[in-house]
Structure formats: C-alpha cells, structure tokens
Structure 1
Amino acid sequence: MYTTTRRSRNLDRRKKRSALEGFNLLIFLMGSIFFMEIILRVNTETSFFNIGLIFSALFAASTALCIYLLTSFFRGWGRTLILGLTLGVTTILFASQFIYYKIFKTFYTVFSAQNGGQVLEFMNDILFMIRKNFLWLLLLFLPLVLFLVLKARSRKSTYRFTWTERGISLALFVLFFGAALMGINLGDKEQNSAFDMYYKNNYPVASVNQLGLLTSMRLDLQRTLTGFDPVIAPPPVVEVPQTPGETPSETPVESPTEEPPKVYAPNVMTIDFDQLLSQAGTDAELAKMHTYFKNREATLQNDFTGKYKGYNLILITAEGYSHYAVNKDVTPTLYKMTHEGVNFTNFYNPIWGVSTSDGEYVATTGLIPKSGVWSMYKSGSNAMPFAMGNQLRHIGYKTLAYHNHTYNYYNRDVSHPNLGYDYKGLGNGLQVRKTWPESDLEMMEVTTEEFVHDEPFHAYFMTVSGHMRYTWGGNFIASKNKALVQNLPYSEGAKAYLATQIELDRALEYLLQKLDEAGVAENTLIAMSADHYPYGLDKADIDNLAGHEVESNFELYKSSFILYAKGMEPMTIDRPVSSLDIIPTISNLLGLEYDSRLLMGVDMFSTKAPLIIFNNRSFITDLGKYNSVTKQFTLNPGATLPAGYATADDYRKAISAEIDRQFYFSTKILEKNYYAKVVNR
C-alpha cells in the first residue's frame, strides 16, 4: 500500500514537472521571439513606442503558440530537433534582416531572398557590418544558445501532451491572434498604419514597425504566392484634352492691349481609351486602368518643349551621388555642370525597396517600383516605350548602355536591352579593371569612342565608383583618391565618401573633353541623378557634410539633378521635383511624342502642380509637406488651398489618395504589360 502510494506520488510529481516544463517552454518561446522583435525594433529608424509594439507582442505570442503546438506531436529528441530548427531558422531570419537593414536601410523581401546569391559579391561589406554590430547579433542569438545549453544539460523529455493541453494552446492562439486582428481593424486606418500594412500595402519598414518581422514576412510570402492587389480609392474624373493638338476647353480671351497668352497642347498620344474600355471585357483591373489614365490630367507643352530637339543625350544614374559631392575645389566638374546648367535647388531622390535597382528603375521609366520584387528585372519582358533608349532608337538614334560592375547584377542583362540599349557591363564586353568598386573614369575612357562620332546618339551609364563602404581599407576608389581629401574639415567617413565622388568627377571631366574633341559638346544634353542618397554613410557623417543635423524624413533624400549642355544659359529651378520626373522632363525637352498621363512623374518645366512621392507615402507639393510617420501636414507659409478643399486635411487626404493610386497603377503597368496594350510603337 505504501509502495503504491509512493509510486502514485512520484508519478504525480513527474506529471507536474513535465507540465511545468511545457509551460516554461511556451514562456521561453514567447519571450525569445518578442525579444528578437525588440532588438530589431531598437535598431531601426522608426518609432519604438507605438501601437505596433503591442501588435508585435501579440503576433510573437501567436507564433510561439504555433511552434508549441507543432512540437506537442513529437517526443524526446524529435521534439528537441523541431524546437532547435524552428528557433534556429527564426534567429537566422532576424539576424539576416538586421544586417540587411543596416546596409540598405530596408528589409529584404521573399523575392529578393530567392535571388540572394548576388549579395555575396558584397561579402566584405556584410562581414564588416557583422563585426560592427557583433554585440547586437550576439543578443539575437542568445535565446538559441540558451536553448541549446539548457537542452544539453537536461534529461530527455518523454512528456506526452494531452488533447486538453493542445486545446488550451489553440484557444490561447485564437485569443492572441484574434486580439491582434481586432486591434488592427478597430484602430487607425491611415497610410502606414497596422491596418494599412496588414490589408492594403507592402512597405517593409513600416510593416515591421507595425506588425513585427515574422508577420511581415508571412504576409509577404502570402502575397508572393497568391498575388496581391491593394485597395485604392476610385479613379477621379478629370476632364482633360485627349488628343494631340487639342486645346483646353476654356480659350483665353484676347485683350486689346496685351498679346494673347500662348495656348499649349497637352503631351498626349492618340489613344482611344473608349474603344479599349469596350474591349476590356470581364477584366475589371484593365478597365480600371483605362478609366484612370483616360481621365488623368496631362501636362501641357511649354516654352521648353523641343528646346533640345535633335540633341544627343547622355543619361547617367550615379551610384550614391548627392549634392554633398558638389564642391568647387574638390569636384570642379560637378560644380561647373551644376552652376552652368540648370540648377535644381529642390530636387529629391527618394529611396525605394530595392535600393539601386529601384532607383535606376524610377529614373529610367518614370514609374514607381512594385514593392516586393525587382521591378527593373520584371520589366525585362514588357513593352517599355517611354524608356529613353526605346524612344530615341525609334527615331534613329544609336543607343548604348554601360555599367562598370558585374553585367548581370540585378539581371541588367535582361532589363537594359529591353529598355532599348546595346548593353555592356563587366563580364560581357566592358573592359575595366575588376576592383571594388570599379572606376567610373576607366569606364568613360573605354566607351566614349563608341558613340561620340555617331550622331545622333544616346548613351546611358550606371556608375559604381560611389558605392559604399566609405572607408580607406574596404574601398579601392576611396583609397585611390585619399590624398585629395585628407586635408578637408570632415570626418573620416565623409572624406572617404568625397574621395569616391572625385572618381565620378574625373569621369565627367573626361566625358566633356571627348565631347569637345568630337565637336558635339554643344549638341549633347547630359542628365544625371543618383540611384539613392549615400545611405552607406553614418548619419553623423551626413550631418558633418551638411554642416547641420539633417532631418530624416525629407531632407535626408534631398539630392542633385544635373541637366547640362555646353553653352546653355544657366538657370535655377526652385520648384520641388524628384527622380520620378526625369523621363517626362527629358521627353518634353527633346520634343518627343509621349503620353504624360501614362507616367507617374511630372515634367519639371510644366505648370502642373508638382508632387514628390516618398516610399513611406510622405509627400511634398508646392503647397506643403506631409510626414506620414508623424501624420502631420504642414502648409507652406502664405500658401492658399485650391478651390474645393475646405481644410488642409481635406487637401492632404486627396493627395494621399492619388499617391495610393499611383503606387497601384504603377504596379499594374508592370504586372499587366500595360504599355503593350495601349501604345502602338
């Protein structure tokens, strides 16, 4: 009797101990995942204390319960193996996203992960960032290490979960997950809110801040596998002229004492949208697109239309270039082209999800990139009639493109020929020394003779000398030009950055020299912008170059756009403009036939209201700025709201709705190969 009782008590103790072990495991999983979310949150440049912190905790608990339920069907080493694998994979996801963010200031998507092999070319940068953030990474790996140590010291668990315990775990999952969904649906529904990220849009930085990393990656995977259409407001109805040469509906009244104002035709092509709508059939998305573009306001031609008609064109996307690189003594050619050309004092270069590739896509297509994919690569099988290579090749120009790094990085060997270029990069015909990074000057030296004697010509360059890291040891170009910046009154990082820009300056100096020697300098328009701001610089180094603390939502993305031709009359443009506006601007200057309704940018010389769109849905117009992070719209001093808007918030909401539409329809142009359906070229 005594022995039976003792056995019963021992059995009860083992059951209680096993149950306690299961409870402790659940708490450990919840705490580990939320701990990693916190580490990532601390290291991103977004708000820490917001409602997203609660949603991250609830989703972390839900994820932990899923893992816990999965392991309940295993025993012994099988359970340990499943726990170790899931915790290990989770840790690697957090650590890799942590490093990716530190380098690119965004998070990678499922699509980028599938094409992640190319990032190994930047292994030195990755290793540098790992060393720099070793303590943070050690904290991320701490839960996994603790798990492995504790499991190695503990006895093998033989505890069997009961269906009651599984039921309780499932109920807790429903409770936590349901609470998160309820909070999301009852809370703020504005842009970048948890609701917006969960149901409508895919902006990785805001999504991680509002929902946590694991939920953001789950949503990205779902959308990648199933397709994803954000919800947008109905397209507005705007009466605009629809055919070239048609004048606005209200003809200006002539004054007997003044010369009548010029009446300009809209920059549109002959597209019968009504017929296209009748042919759309059951394709609701296509019909929605036809309706939107039919009614969209076109830009009018202006005094600058055709000003450089027949000119050769050199278009450059310069890696990491910014207005901080324009220095009369250090980079005299950049200074000359800025101040003897068109000086845009209010130019912005927003960063997008795929840094360089998306920046290049915006500058060469006039479209907003689709989130979650490599838009430039995806466009490689589409009709791209408004890319300058295709526009100019269509009218007889020789069109060439060059990149002085690996030719197929970001699959440029697919995208750039489709933009209308005979394309060369390192590895498929461009003969420059393989350094890191490679020299822009060397690229100009081996390419200019291929086009300067063959007018009319158009050459496109994607440079690389300005690439991060901005250090003497890890950057060949910075080291090469180190002596030229050593005495400048800047931090080491800032000086190394300027050293890389000297190589770009020398490349442009050589280009201008060869254009002069060929006698075509005065008939060649040069347009240059960056792919993104120099995010490889620490914020302190950027502040050092600026001479003040740089505001991080708008000013951080302020940059330089060069528009220059030898002998042109210098002018200054204060109008707010961005890299999205480059293609419509050049198209108008060269007097090309294009349809301004089908591009998201605006001709920089037009009378249409300017609109600078940032990836987080912040914006700048001629009337004010909206910060989507703080949700604050600031009207410019003395600005007057357009007719039809009772309050500044009404105006802000209307602009935000139009921005949502532009994101949406840019995506649809890419997904549906829309230009092939409407442009006969």
Structure 2
Amino acid sequence: MDKTEQKRAWLGVFTAVLPFWLLDLTLRAMAGSAGYYALYAAAPNLFSLGFGALFAALCLALPRRAGRIAYGVCYALWAVYAVVQYGVWRIFDRFLFLSDFLFAGEGLGFLGYVRQLLDLRFAFFVLLLIVWGAFGVWRLPAGGALPRRRVCDGLALFFALTQFAAPRCYASVPETLDWDAWQSSGYEYRKFASSSYDMALTGPYQFVARDAFLSLAPDADEEAALAEIEAFLAERPARQDNEMTGLLRGKNLIMVQLESIDDFVLNEENTPTMARLMREGVNFTNFYTPQYANGYTFNTEFAAQTGLYPYANGNVAYSLSRSAFPDTLAHLLRQAGYAANSFHKSEAKFYNRGAMHRAFGYEGYHSALDYAANETEAGTDRFLADCDELYEKMIESQPFFDFIITYSGHLGYDERDALTTYALERYPEYLDPARPYEISGLFAKARLTDELFERLLERLTEDGLLENTVFFVYDDHYAYGLTDRAVLETYSAQAGGALLERTPCFFWYPGCTPTTVSKTLQTIDILPTLANLYGLPEPRTPGRDAFDSAYPGWAVFPDGTWMTDKAYVKNGAVEWNHGMTEEEIAQMNAYARRLAHVGDAILDTDYYRGR
C-alpha cells in the first residue's frame, strides 16, 4: 500500500470518529446548551470525540462490510436517541434521564406534539444528523488498508485518555457549599441533577454513561447521610401552634389533586364550582408545583403525600414502594381514627400506584376502570362520584380521608383526543374559533372536572355529610400539554403568574372564612400545613406549615432555581430582587442545595424506617 493510500486510510479513521462528535455538537447547539456551558469547552468535546473513537474502533475491528453495517447501526441508534432528546427538549426544556424512560407509556399522550415539532428547524436537525452519519459510513476505511489492531488499540487508548482528562477540565468543587456551588461545573458533574446543564457538560454519550453509572453505583456512606439529615431537620424551627392549629380536627377530608387545571384554567367561566369554593375558602395565591423528572403527575402526588421531593434525575414510583413513609397524611390520619382511600381513573399498575399508595398509608386504591363501561366514562371525573360503588367506598367509614386524582384535564387537547371530542360535544359553547382549538379543548375538559365537585357536593349534602367535610384542592402541574408553548405562556401571563409553575391551591368547608394567603409556597408544604390544620403531629419532612409565622415561604426547583416573596434566582442569576440582601440570597442558595441533598439522602437511606 503506497503512502497516498495510507494517508487516505488514516484520514478515514478520523472522519469515522468525526460524525459522532458532530452529532453531539448539533444536539447541544440546537438545544441551547451554550446557555449552560460553552459549546467549545473542552470536556464535552473530549467526551464525544473519545466515544466516537471507541465506536470507530469496535467497527474497524470487524471485516469491512460488517464494520460498515455495525457503524451504521451504532450511529443510527444514537441519532434516534438525539432526535428523541431534542424533541423532549423542545417540549419540556429539559432532557430525559434513563429512569425517565420508565414513563414511556405516559409519553404516548404527547403524540399531538409531533405536528408542532415537525417544522423547518426540526427537519434541519434531522437532516444534519443523516448527513453526518452517511459521511461516516462512506469514509470508514477498509480494515485491510491499516494495521487494524494497532489502530483499534490506539482509538481505545484515546477513549480511555478522554475519560481521564475530560472530568478534570471542569471547575473545581468548592470546599464548602455555602455559596453558589452549583455554578461550579465540577459540582454539577458530581451531583448530576439538572438534565439540561448535564447535557451541556457532557454531550449525549457521557450523559448516558454517567447517568447509568450513578444509577448503579453503591450508595454513599449511610452514616454521613443520616448525620446530614438529622442536622437539617434539627436546624428547622419546630412548628409553633398558631390560629389555624386544629381548626379542622375531626372533619372528613377530601383531598383532590387536579390534572392540568392551571391558574388560567380555573375560573368562573370554565370551572364555576371550583371557582366558588376557591373564592369562599382559603386560597394560596402564590403556590408553585416544581416539576421533578418525568411522570409529573405522580411526582407531585409523591411530594404532596410525603412532604419530600422525588429524585431530580430519577423516579420513585418503581423504586420506593417498599420504603417507609410513616409521616404521610394517610398514616397520620389513620392513627387518629380515619379511614383512608384513594381514587383515580388509571389501573393500579400505572405509576405503580397500587403499591405506592399502600406505602403512603391508604387502605385501598380504587380505579374507575374497574367499574366503568369504557375508557371515556372512566376518564370523566364525575364518574367517581356518580358510581355508587366508588362513592360508597368514599364515605362508608367516618371520619374519612379520600384522596382523589382527577383525569379529565389530561392531555391531549386536539381533534384526535376522544375525551376532548366528548367534552366539546357536551359543552359546545367552549368551541371558540377566535382561539386555538387546544385551548377550547382544555377549557371544556376542565368543565368535566368541575362536574366532579358539583356532584360530590350534591351527594354529600343529601347524605348529611357536607357540614363536616373539607375539600383541599391543588394541581399536579401547569398545563404543559398545550403544544404551542407561546400560547401557554401568553395565557399564563394573563393570569398573573410570575412563573409557569404557579398553580391553584385552596381549601374549603361550609362556613369557611374567605382568606387569601399570598406567601410563596410549594408542594411539599401541603403535608405539614394539613397536619397543622388537623392538629396532627408535625411531620419530619423538609416541608413547612403555610401558617407558621416563622416560615417566610419559598419554592425550590430541581435545578436549584428558587423563589421567595422578595426574589427570584434562576440558574444562579438574580432575575429580580425586591429586598433580599446578598447574604440572604447566599443563604437561600445554600438552602436550595441542602434541600436537594437531604431529600435524596432520606430516600436513599429509607430514613423513616424504624424511626
């Protein structure tokens, strides 16, 4: 073989590595990763070049035809992964961790987004990936044109060197975490909790590899984790009795988690019954539902039940069903003599609710699908109150605690969704040609949820139970099921929310004094607030009682972003500040990090078992 052929073959080796790096660069560039970490930074580029070398080595070790097929298959798999992640980022402004794929079934409901994604930008992204892959297959050199073993060994060595060198390109981890430690790329790489930041730090190949490693790695020192938990809970001020302590003691409780009934959805026009209860009840006007990982509905459910947030980069529905949660509301109320049952449309295996709700302390989980004639009937929230068998389970023992998860507001909202069609046929007045069809669908489906409240009030009144019953209502997440993000943001802004994550939360009972609570609150505050209202022991969780005068109120999000009544800090940058000092902001930054650490430690160690 002459020198010209050798040079061409060696160039082919390089160009076989290049497409994998270009795939990474295309994904990071088009997904806005530069906002987190520079595209030209050494670490992600080294990682991707190293993995490209590894994949090329594996393919070059095969005969030429087999090598090209293997190369094409390998690249195609990563290209599909990149397309999925890019699509998810376009919808949710985040990427999927490996554990998120456990919720793939829920993702089928997002098929309506496909039409929104198939624009020139998305087509350009896919086209670039195809071009890079075709170029790599074409340029992959013949195995016989090179000293195959030496080349493959060299590529594998390069991969190993990049694995050693790339993590050392990140900023060092601060010795203390008292200030903005999250801004250290080394700290985030170690923690690996913010998918958008992590993809920017690593690129797709190392993103998957590190996520898998952390998922399989043995737990950290349990004694140190337990000490951290104990210190955090000890530093939290003990709840002091206040004017709301024991206010609802002995009353029946119907706790309702709404599906997608956003702050701009719940109003006199769309949900007249709920709007009346909110107006006549105690209304938390600055309540936020941070979205942790995928499976947003269940993760909010978990937070409200346990006073803990789930893992930022993982799931809890399938991993913690055997963990102990003795301080949940169901456990505390059952200890006080209550019956506790939960109700929803979906079957028990969905989100592993059958097992998880037992862990939460419920005596039974009841699915409407077990009683309804078809999917549409089961998905109509009113059915939970209309069905005599289900209603009897709600009230058969007193005092009772019923947890209801609504369904009617679930995405999608377009013409292909059967429940949307049903809702608009039932309430054709919501079909307004002056606004997007999806908005009309969302509003009509919200009216179906409102029928549940209307019917429950009727039946409880007929049975003489309403006078001793409380409704506590909150939302699972903002209406992210709207495929047009601009429309969502416009309606949310018109409702006055500072963030998309602001959602309704209120409670009502006959004779309630209408009250507005403007303190900034979050999902994990629901449990301690209800515990105080019912005169129950204070739960040993990071959440706080909304009526505790020592609690100023805040909402903390999984990437370390946080909000109080006075300030909003996103990705370490102060978006607005109306009176917090630099020291107070630093303290809140530290608290946001500790909340994540302690929450994960409680879950990792099954902290409550035996305590």
Q: TM-score, normalised by structure 2?
A: 0.88
Aligned to 1:51: 38
Contact 1:33 1:64 in 2 (8 A): no
1:293-315 deviation per Cα after TM superposition (whole angstroms, max 9, x unaligned): 23432221211000010010111
1:496-527 deviation per Cα after TM superposition (whole angstroms, max 9, x unaligned): 21112111111111111112112121211111
Aligned to 1:497: 442
Contact 1:91 1:141 in 2 (8 A): no
Query: Separation in 2 of the partners of 1:579 and 1:71?
Result: 50
Contact 2:23 2:132 in 1 (8 A): no
Contact 2:16 2:137 in 1 (8 A): no
Contact 1:75 1:160 in 2 (8 A): no
Contact 1:473 1:479 in 2 (8 A): no
Aligned to 1:610: 553
Q: TM-score, normalised by structure 1?
A: 0.80
Question: Superposed, which structure 2 residues align to 1:213-292 within 5 Å?
Answer: 213-227=204-218, 283-292=223-232
Deviates more, 1:668-677 or 1:99-108: 99-108
Q: Does 1:301 align with 2:301?
A: no
Query: Separation in 1 of the partners of 2:134 and 2:204?
Result: 23
* Structure 1 residues 549 and 449: alpha-carbon distance in aligned structure 2, compared to 1, 3 A threshold: closer
Query: Separation in 2 of the partners of 1:102 and 1:56?
Result: 21
Larger relative contact order (CA 8 Å, sep ≥ 6):
2
Contact 2:288 2:523 in 1 (8 A): yes
Shift of 1:66: 2.4
Query: Separation in 2 of the partners of 1:550 and 1:336?
Result: 19
- Give the gaps of 5 or more residues in structure 1: 1-9, 231-281, 642-647
Shift of 1:429: 3.6
Aligned to 2:177: none
Aligned to 1:212: 203
Aligned to 1:399: 340
Shift of 1:534: 0.9
Shift of 1:340: 0.4
Question: Superposed, which structure 2 residues align to 1:582-601 within 5 Å?
Answer: 582-595=526-539, 598-601=540-543
Aligned to 1:466: 409
Aligned to 2:301: 360
Work out the percentage of aligned pairs sharing the same amino acid: 21
Question: Superposed, which structure 2 residues align to 1:272-351 within 5 Å?
Answer: 283-351=223-291
Contact 2:369 2:375 in 1 (8 A): no
Query: Separation in 2 of the partners of 1:305 and 1:588?
Result: 5
3-state SS of the aligned residue for 1:516? helix
Query: Separation in 1 of the partners of 2:137 and 2:233?
Result: 62
Match of 1:123, as an amino acid? L
Question: Superposed, which structure 2 residues align to 1:406-421 within 5 Å?
Answer: 406-421=347-362
Query: Separation in 1 of the partners of 2:584 and 2:49?
Result: 40
3-state SS of the aligned residue for 1:662? helix
Aligned to 1:7: none
**Match 2:500 to one of 531, 543, 556:** 556
Question: Superposed, which structure 2 residues align to 1:8-407 within 5 Å?
Answer: 11-39=2-30, 41-42=31-32, 48=35, 50-51=37-38, 54=41, 55-113=43-101, 115-116=102-103, 119-120=104-105, 122-123=107-108, 125-126=110-111, 128-134=112-118, 136=122, 139-140=125-126, 142-144=128-130, 147=133, 151=137, 158-161=144-147, 165=151, 169=155, 173=159, 180-185=166-171, 190-191=181-182, 193-227=184-218, 283-354=223-294, 355-407=296-348
Aligned to 1:528: 473
1:308-340 deviation per Cα after TM superposition (whole angstroms, max 9, x unaligned): 100101111111122112221332112101100
3-state SS of the aligned residue for 1:359? helix
RMSD between aligned alpha carbons?
Answer: 3.1
1:604-662 deviation per Cα after TM superposition (whole angstroms, max 9, x unaligned): 11112212111221112244222226x226432xx3x6xxxxxx332222222222222
Query: Separation in 1 of the partners of 2:571 and 2:109?
Result: 35
Aligned pairs, how many?
596
Contact 1:353 1:372 in 2 (8 A): yes
Shift of 1:291: 3.4
Shift of 1:130: 3.7
Query: Separation in 2 of the partners of 1:73 and 1:436?
Result: 58
3-state SS of the aligned residue for 2:144? coil
3-state SS of the aligned residue for 1:674? coil
Contact 1:36 1:140 in 2 (8 A): no
Contact 2:346 2:369 in 1 (8 A): no
Query: Separation in 2 of the partners of 1:462 and 1:315?
Result: 9
- Give the gaps of 5 or more residues in structure 2: 175-179
3-state SS of the aligned residue for 1:384? coil
Contact 1:491 1:544 in 2 (8 A): no
Q: Does 1:627 align with 2:573?
A: no
* Structure 1 residues 147 and 211: alpha-carbon distance in aligned structure 2, compared to 1, 3 A threshold: closer
Deviates more, 1:602-611 or 1:616-625: 616-625
* Structure 1 residues 25 and 490: alpha-carbon distance in aligned structure 2, compared to 1, 3 A threshold: same
Q: Does 1:439 align with 2:424?
A: no
Shift of 1:428: 7.0
3-state SS of the aligned residue for 1:330? coil
Q: Does 1:668 align with 2:609?
A: no
Match of 1:635, as an amino acid? N
Query: Separation in 2 of the partners of 1:511 and 1:192?
Result: 49
Shift of 1:540: 1.9
Contact 1:490 1:545 in 2 (8 A): no
* Structure 1 residues 557 and 53: alpha-carbon distance in aligned structure 2, compared to 1, 3 A threshold: farther
Shift of 1:532: 1.1
Contact 2:409 2:449 in 1 (8 A): yes
Contact 1:580 1:600 in 2 (8 A): yes
Q: Based on CA coordinates, which of the two structures has the bigger radius of gyration?
A: 1
* Structure 1 residues 357 and 191: alpha-carbon distance in aligned structure 2, compared to 1, 3 A threshold: same
1:550-587 deviation per Cα after TM superposition (whole angstroms, max 9, x unaligned): 88xx5111111021112211111111112221000001
Match of 2:82, as an amino acid? F
